[in-house]
Structure 1
Amino acid sequence: MTQAVADGGRYASVATQAGPVPDLSARGVRTTVHQVREDGAALAGPAALVDRGALRLRVHAAFGPDGVRAAHERFRRGGLSGKLALVF
């Protein structure tokens, strides 16, 4: 899949387990890996802040699985007042 990354671009991986990060430095590509894990206890605090209105989420628009292309097109146009969310 790394052939889809433009020279000088960025490669980001969101994974549930650590894996090898491809070395794309010869093409000037910066790589990052973001680890995620299920942690309901850790999310309870921020969720409570949202529920109380103390933390406001700024979502400009939400897209379903079939709207990924539309989300990318909307992002490219710029001028967003918040994040774009993909809802599965």
Structure 2
Amino acid sequence: MIGSIAEQTLAGREKAGEIVVPLAQWYSHVEREKHRLTSGWVSLARFALTDEFYYGSFVIGHDDLAAGRLDEALSVTEFSE
């Protein structure tokens, strides 16, 4: 899932003119984007939903956590299959 989000974010950043990604380097840039996206978040809680294949978690950005803005936390569903 994070790979898809990274690709969409990277394409959006490129379309906005923020970056230029040569086609031959697309996948290495996607990997860097995945790291950029995931390193900005802290997991507050993680729990199993209905069985071992679905998990839920609450995440928050480092800056929001430091400022006590817990209302900025996001819920995320993860699928292990």
Say whether the fold is shared (TM-score over 0.5): no
Greater Rg by CA: 1
Select the structure that is richer in helix. Answer: 2
Give the TM-score band, short-chain normalised. Answer: under 0.3
